[in-house]
Structures are given as structure tokens and as C-alpha cells.
């Protein structure tokens, strides 16, 4: 066979194979379709079986639910019947208790009715007895009027006077007991507070006068101080504003002036002139200017020490005025030391009483700053001090407390004001702190005795303890014990209203009764 024949034979065989494969593929497709149909039928049969099963189970569930509902209804019916039975039992018991209560109330009502009838009977009996008593009292009253020859109004007046006297005596006893108890408690508390405040600070007190003494090394210097035809002394007095007293006092010259700052400047300048030895008008003016600078520095340093000691900071303008208190005195007491002492006492008292310590301390330190101003300013030292503090924008609380430290204020505006006033009294009443003019002292004693003698029943009065106490001897037949208490209170009140004095004055009333007889 040649090559083309072989090729055609191969192509024929290939076509025969391809035809058989198509048949096979068609058979396979048919088989797949039949298998799928069979699966669908099987699934349909399974679904129908499941539906039948579900229907059967549904019927069973319905039967079970119906049985359970019937059982639950039966149980609920039993519970309702039991609760109804319990309620019926409770209602029966309540009805029983109500019947018993009604029975008890009826019984009590009957008892009360019986008591009311008894009370009415007793009331009628008492009315009869009261009527008899009234008749008896009227008869006795008529008999008393006949015996005493007094009518009803006169007898009533006598009884009222007696009752008034007895009531007044009882009230006086009560007032005396209350005053005594209050005084004891107040004195004990005040003693503790003041003792605690006083023992924490103590300053030396020195008495100052209006005259300063400058010692001289020799008597020859007196003539040099006077100068030719009195030229030096006139220049010194004119420039310093003081008076030089050159007398027979050995080796001493006195500088007199009521302005303590001027007096101190003049004293320092004169001492420097004496030490220098050159005394003439030009040198006098130079020494006075130098002494004025020294005194200014001293006042500023003293003010800084005082504020540091009191732990209070002051603005510079106020500090400069405050330093002038170094040379100011009140009844011989240095006001700068007095102010520092007051600041310490006020701080201690304020801490004890729970007040504002800073306000009390600052107000106490500045309370007398008005005394540093000279005669060119008009007004009292309190008004001047308040005006100065307001001008330098001090706080209102400090200004009020500092301006109310005297007794001339009717009502204190704060606790700090009272503390400043108390501190002022404590500092000024120290032994040796202040001294008075003899005439003022004698007048105060005389006024004390005159006030005491002006009351009725006073036999004699004595002012003792430098005017700190007045003892009054009364006539025992005119003043009883209760009247003696009232007399002491009235005298103390009048002394407080009419007199001005430092500290306090004790009033003691003495009543003595003596019985005497003679044995023969």
C-alpha cells in the first residue's frame, strides 16, 4: 500500500471512532438525567414522609398541651378555693373581734355614765360646800373689818405692800445669787486670759517730764552758752523753739519745751556744742540741723524695731509718723513702748478668744498714732489717727478697732475693738506705768467720796488704794442687807457714768450691827 491509501484508511478509522464516542456521550447524558429524576423523586418521597411525621407529632403535641392546660386549670381552681376559704376564715375572726370590741365599748360606756353621775353628784355637793365657805368667809371678813376697823380696800393695800416687799426681797436674793455666780465665773475666766496675756510681755516703764538736763564739764561753759549780751542763748532758743534754763544748778543746764521732739533735738545739739567747745550762732544752727537728722534717724530706727518686735509691717509714710511716738508720753508712759506692749497683749487675748489676731494686733499698735501729730492739726488724737489711717488706705476693720479704743464709743462694732480697749486698760494700769498730777489725784479721791456720800443711809465713805477702791459705811437701822447690795451697784454705776479713771474702781459697802448691854 502506498502512503496516500494509508492516510485515507487512518482518517476512516478516526471517523468511526468519533461516531462511537458521540453515542457514548449521548448515553451518558441520558443516564445522568434519569439519575437526577430518581433523586428528585426520592427527595419528594422523603419530604412527604417528613410532613406526615410532623403532622403526627403536631397532633401528639396538641393532645399533650390540652392535658397540661387542664391540669393547670385544676391546680388554679384548688388554689382559689383555698384562698377563698382563708379569707372567709379571716372575715369570721374579724367579725368576732368587732363584736368583742363593741361589747367592751358598751361596758365602758356604762361605766363612764356611772362615773359621770357620781361626779355630778359630787360637784353638786362641792357647790353646796363652797357656798357655805363663801358665807363663812364673808362673815369672818365682816367680823375682821369690825374688829380691825379697816375696810376691804385698806386691807388689800396692806396685803399688797407686804407681798411686794416679800417679792422684792426674793428677787433681790435671786439677783444677788446670779450676780455672784456670774462674777465668779467671769473673774476666773478673765483672770486666766489676762494673766496669760500679761505674763508674755513686760516692758520697763520710765517717767518723762517736760525738762531735759544737759550736764556741763565746768561752770565756765554757762557764760559761753549765754554769749556776749545773750546772743548765743537767744539764737539757740529761737532756732530750736525751746527755753534754756541756766540757774544756780551746779554743772547743768536745763532744756524746757512741751514738744518732746524739739526738746530732744535741742538737748542733743547743746550736748554736741558743749563737747565741741565752739559756741556761736553759725555753729549753733549747724549743730541743730545735725541733731535734727540724728533724731529723725532715731525715730525711724525705733519705729522699725517696734514693728519688728510686734511683727507688723507698716507703709513708709505711716512708719515715719509712728516713729515720732518715741518722744511722746501719756501720764509719764512712753507711747511707743505702750503701743508695742498693747500689740502683744491684744494678740494673746485675740488668740484665746478666737478673734482675728492680725487685726487686733495691728489696731493695738496704731491706736495712739494720732498723738504723734503736732498742734498744727486740729482734733482729738483718735480722730487724727483715724484720718491718717484712712488716708493711707488701712483696712476698715483695723480703723474701727483703733478708733474705738476709748470709752466714748457707745457700742463696739467688733470683738477686736473690745480686745484693743482691754489691752489699753491693762497696759496703762500697770504699777508705775502712769502717774498723775497731785491735784488731779486729790480731786478724784474727793469726787469718789462725794458721790458715795450723796446716797441716803451713808454714814461715812473712804477712798483708799490710790482711788482704786471706795469703802462705804452705812447706817444699819436705815440700810438692810439687800439695800446694801443695791447701794453698791448704784454707786458703781454712778462712778462709771460721771468719772474718768484708768482701770477699775471697787465699791465696798460695810454694814455693821452691834448689840450691847451692861451687867450689874
- At 208-228, the pLDDT tens digits run 455 677 888 877 777 888 888
Task: Give the domain-ending residue among 132, 167, 199.
Answer: 199
Report the share of the chain in percent with pLDDT over 90. 1
pLDDT score of 332 more than 50: yes
Q: 114 and 175: one domain? A: no
pLDDT score of 411 more than 80: no
| Band of residue 435 on the pLDDT scale cut at 50, 70, 90 | low
Sign of CA dihedral 268, 269, 274, 276: positive
pTM of the model: 0.47
Task: Give the domain-ending residue among 428, 462, 484.
Answer: 428
Task: Give the domain-ending residue among 75, 104, 119.
Answer: 119
Residue 207: the pLDDT is: 42
Q: What is the mean pLDDT of residues 349-362?
A: 84
Q: What distances in angstroms separate CA 190 from CA 60, 123, 355, 456, one per listed residue?
A: 103, 63, 15, 34
Q: What is the mean pLDDT of residues 51-65?
A: 79
Q: 279 and 252: one domain? A: yes
Asked if residue 18 is part of any domain, the answer here is: no
Residue 204: the pLDDT is: 43
CATH number at residue 489: 3.30.300.30
Contact (Cβ atoms closer than 8 angstroms) between residue 224 and residue 273: no
CA neighbours closer than 13 Å in the CB half-sphere of residue 6: 3
Residue 206: the pLDDT is: 42
pLDDT score of 20 more than 80: no
What grid cell was written down for 157?
A: 393695800
* Helix or strand holding residue 507 (H, E): strand 506-510
Q: 105 and 175: one domain? A: no
Residue 3: the pLDDT is: 62
Q: Where are the beta strands (DSSP E) in 365-406?
A: none
Asked if residue 271 is part of any domain, the answer here is: yes
Distance CA 402, CA 363 (A): 5
Q: What distances in angstroms separate CA 205 from CA 50, 106, 309, 326, 389, one per listed residue?
A: 126, 95, 17, 13, 28
Average pLDDT, the chain: 78
Q: What distances in angstroms separate CA 419 from CA 189, 197, 245, 424, 481, one per listed residue?
A: 15, 11, 44, 9, 36
What grid cell was written down for 59?
A: 397532633
Q: 243 and 343: one domain? A: yes
Q: What is the mean pLDDT of residues 33-49?
A: 80
Residue 205: the pLDDT is: 42
| Band of residue 83 on the pLDDT scale cut at 50, 70, 90 | confident
Residue 11: the pLDDT is: 65
Asked if residue 93 is part of any domain, the answer here is: yes
Distance CA 262, CA 326 (A): 12
Q: What is the mean pLDDT of residues 35-60?
A: 80
Q: 177 and 78: one domain? A: no
- List residues bridging with 333 in a β-sheet: 330
Q: What is the mean pLDDT of residues 288-292?
A: 86
Asked if residue 63 is part of any domain, the answer here is: yes
**Lowest-pLDDT range, 104-113, 176-185, 252-261, 449-458?**
176-185
Q: 404 and 357: one domain? A: yes
SS3 214: strand
pLDDT score of 288 more than 70: yes
Q: 104 and 166: one domain? A: no
**Lowest-pLDDT range, 31-40, 88-97, 185-194?**
185-194
Q: How many domains does the chain have?
A: 4
Q: 311 and 345: one domain? A: yes
pLDDT score of 34 more than 70: yes
CATH number at residue 254: 1.10.3210
Nearest to 413 by CA among 493, 355, 488: 355
Q: What is the mean pLDDT of residues 472-488?
A: 87
Asked if residue 276 is part of any domain, the answer here is: yes
Q: 54 and 168: one domain? A: no
Asked if residue 11 is part of any domain, the answer here is: no
- List residues bridging with 460 in a β-sheet: 473
**Lowest-pLDDT range, 186-200, 350-364, 412-426?**
186-200
Tell me the pLDDT tens digit for each residue of 236-251.
888 888 888 887 767 7
Q: 237 and 332: one domain? A: yes
Q: 43 and 62: one domain? A: yes
The secondary structure of residue 408, as a DSSP letter, is T
**Lowest-pLDDT range, 51-60, 150-159, 502-511?**
150-159
| Band of residue 410 on the pLDDT scale cut at 50, 70, 90 | low
Q: What is the mean pLDDT of residues 307-318?
A: 83
- List residues bridging with 469 in a β-sheet: 464, 506
Residue 36: the pLDDT is: 76
Residue 303: the pLDDT is: 81
Asked if residue 449 is part of any domain, the answer here is: yes
Q: For residue 346, what are the domain limits? A: 211-428
Q: 316 and 423: one domain? A: yes
Asked if residue 310 is part of any domain, the answer here is: yes
What is the chain's length? 520
pLDDT score of 199 more than 50: no
Distance CA 246, CA 308 (A): 41
Query: Following DSSP, what letter does each residue of 128-173 receive, concatenated?
Result: HHHHHHHHHHHHHHHHHHHHH---HHHHHHHHHHHHHHHHHHHHHH
- List residues bridging with 255 in a β-sheet: 212, 244
Q: What is the mean pLDDT of residues 66-83?
A: 85
Amino acid at each position: 500500500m502506498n502512503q496516500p491509501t494509508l492516510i485515507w484508511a487512518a482518517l476512516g478509522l478516526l471517523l468511526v471512532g468519533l461516531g462511537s464516542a458521540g453515542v457514548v456521550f449521548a448515553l451518558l447524558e441520558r443516564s445522568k438525567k434519569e439519575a437526577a429524576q430518581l433523586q428528585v423523586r426520592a427527595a419528594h418521597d422523603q419530604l412527604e414522609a417528613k410532613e406526615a411525621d410532623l403532622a403526627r407529632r403536631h397532633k401528639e403535641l396538641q393532645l399533650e398541651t390540652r392535658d397540661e392546660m387542664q391540669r393547670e386549670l385544676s391546680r388554679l381552681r384548688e388554689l382559689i378555693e383555698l384562698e377563698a376559704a382563708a379569707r372567709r376564715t379571716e372575715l369570721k375572726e374579724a367579725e368576732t373581734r368587732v363584736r368583742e370590741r363593741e361589747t367592751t365599748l358598751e361596758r365602758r360606756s356604762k361605766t363612764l355614765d356611772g362615773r359621770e353621775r357620781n361626779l355630778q353628784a359630787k360637784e353638786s355637793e362641792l357647790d353646796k360646800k363652797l357656798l357655805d365657805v363663801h358665807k363663812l368667809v364673808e362673815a369672818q371678813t365682816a367680823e375682821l373689818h369690825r374688829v380691825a376697823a379697816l375696810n376691804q380696800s385698806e386691807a388689800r393695800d396692806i396685803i399688797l405692800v407686804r407681798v411686794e416687799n416679800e417679792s422684792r426681797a426674793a428677787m433681790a436674793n435671786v439677783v444677788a445669787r446670779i450676780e455672784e455666780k456670774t462674777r465668779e465665773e467671769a473673774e476666773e475666766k478673765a483672770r486666766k486670759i489676762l494673766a496669760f496675756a500679761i505674763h508674755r510681755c513686760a516692758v520697763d516703764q520710765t517717767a518723762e517730764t517736760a525738762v531735759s538736763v544737759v550736764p556741763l564739764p565746768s561752770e565756765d561753759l554757762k557764760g559761753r552758752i549765754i554769749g556776749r549780751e545773750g546772743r548765743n542763748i537767744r539764737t539757740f532758743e529761737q532756732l530750736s523753739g525751746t527755753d534754756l534754763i541756766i540757774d544756780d544748778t551746779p554743772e547743768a543746764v536745763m532744756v524746757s519745751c512741751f514738744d518732746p521732739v524739739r526738746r530732744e533735738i535741742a538737748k542733743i545739739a547743746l550736748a554736741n556744742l558743749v563737747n565741741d567747745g565752739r559756741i556761736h550762732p553759725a555753729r549753733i544752727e549747724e549743730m541743730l540741723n545735725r541733731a535734727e537728722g540724728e533724731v529723725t534717724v532715731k525715730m525711724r530706727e525705733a519705729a522699725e524695731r517696734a514693728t519688728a518686735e510686734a511683727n507688723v509691717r507698716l507703709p513708709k509714710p505711716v512708719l515715719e509718723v509712728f516713729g515720732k511716738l518715741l518722744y511722746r508720753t501719756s501720764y509719764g508712759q512712753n507711747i511707743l513702748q505702750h503701743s508695742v506692749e498693747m500689740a502683744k497683749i491684744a494678740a494673746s487675748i485675740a488668740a484665746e478668744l478666737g478673734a482675728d489676731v492680725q487685726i487686733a494686733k495691728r489696731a493695738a499698735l496704731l491706736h495712739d498714732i494720732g498723738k504723734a501729730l503736732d498742734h498744727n492739726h486740729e482734733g482729738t488724737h483718735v480722730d487724727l489717727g483715724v484720718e491718717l489711717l484712712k488716708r493711707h488706705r488701712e483696712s476698715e476693720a483695723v480703723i474701727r478697732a483703733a478708733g474705738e479704743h476709748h470709752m466714748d464709743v457707745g457700742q463696739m462694732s467688733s470683738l477686736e475693738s473690745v480686745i484693743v480697749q482691754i489691752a489699753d486698760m491693762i497696759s496703762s494700769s500697770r504699777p508705775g506705768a502712769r502717774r498723775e498730777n497731785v491735784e488731779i489725784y486729790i480731786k478724784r479721791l474727793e469726787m469718789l467720796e462725794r458721790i458715795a456720800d450723796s446716797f441716803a443711809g451713808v454714814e461715812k465713805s473712804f477712798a483708799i488704794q490710790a482711788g482704786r477702791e471706795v469703802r462705804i459705811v452705812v447706817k444699819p437701822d436705815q440700810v438692810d442687807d439687800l439695800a446694801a447690795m443695791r447701794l453698791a451697784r448704784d454707786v458703781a454705776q454712778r462712778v462709771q457714768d460721771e468719772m474718768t479713771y484708768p482701770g477699775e474702781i471697787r465699791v465696798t459697802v460695810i454694814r455693821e450691827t452691834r448689840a450691847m448691854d451692861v451687867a450689874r
